[in-house]
Amino acid sequence: MIGAIPLLANFPSGCHLAEIEIDPQTGVTTLVRYTAVDDAGLVLNPVVAEGQIHGGLAQGLGEVFGEAMICDAAGTTGALAAATNAIADALAQAGRLD
């Protein structure tokens, strides 16, 4: 151990880039292209590793495009229930990720 970091710790890294279009009239946002590059080191099971990347991507896009934060005139945020936000699931993402 070096300080608080175990010697066998790993630190995967990556870069994700989203190209979006925003309609200036309506404010509707569309994801045009998403590119991701990840360095996970030695991958023992590529299917599981790819699933982890796709799952993280689906969760992030779900948060961006499916959730809302509502504020009143004073800037106070309201408490939102999970039922008011869309949830990205595997079926919704099937065939959308390359």
pLDDT attached to residue 2: 55
Q: How is the chain split into domains, by residue range?
A: 13-93
Question: With the CA atoms of 79, 82, 84 and 87 taken in that order, what torsion angle do they form, in degrees rounded to the nearest 10?
Answer: 140
Q: Cα 81 from chain centroid?
A: 20
Nearest to 18 by CA among 67, 66, 60: 60
pLDDT attached to residue 54: 84
- Any idea what DSSP says for residue 83? G
pLDDT attached to residue 22: 92
pLDDT attached to residue 58: 81
User: At 37, which helix (H) or strand (E)?
Assistant: strand 29-39
For residue 95, the SS3 value is coil
In order along its 98 residues, the chain shows pLDDT tens digits of 556 666 666 677 889 898 999 999 998 888 899 888 888 888 899 999 888 888 888 888 877 877 767 777 887 777 666 666 666 665 555 555 55
Nearest to 36 by CA among 52, 15, 56, 21: 15
Q: Could you name the CATH architecture of 13-93?
A: 2-Layer Sandwich (3.30)
